[in-house]
Amino acid sequence: MATGSTTDFPVAGLAPSMHPYLTLALAIAAEVTGTTALKASDGFSELLPTVVVVVGYVGSFYLLGLTLEELPVGLVYATWAGAGIVATALVGVVVFEENLDAAGVVGMALVVAGVVALNVLSDAYAPTH
């Protein structure tokens, strides 16, 4: 088996050359799913949500590891954390009927602006090749 072939890759269907922003998006989705299940687990007293917590967080960190093979740690973590904050807050509003006030909206907008600045405007994380 040739090194670098898709059959060498540890997760079926995910090629090693998968775009790093796609693996990052999947890591964010897994983290938000795990965090949502954490709320639903009722202090780990509900089995199915507890299993989803573990699978979500393990999957998220695995995908973060793959992403870090191609992107800088500062950029990856800022994007993962920022998108996770905003997505989890929105899940809280929609799924758990939590409130979000004007200060919360402004704060999340600032988080999004920071992530966009790092990803789009910053030369610090510009590709070197």
Write down the pLDDT at residue 16. 52
User: How far, in Å, CA of 29 to CA of 22, rounded?
Assistant: 11
Q: Is the pTM of this model over 0.85?
A: no
Collect the ranges in the chain with pLDDT lower than 50. 1-10, 12, 129
Cβ proximity of 115 and 82 under 8 Å: yes
User: How far, in Å, CA of 11 to CA of 37, rounded?
Assistant: 23
Half-sphere exposure of 84 (CA within 13 A, CB side): 23
Nearest to 20 by CA among 56, 73, 84: 73
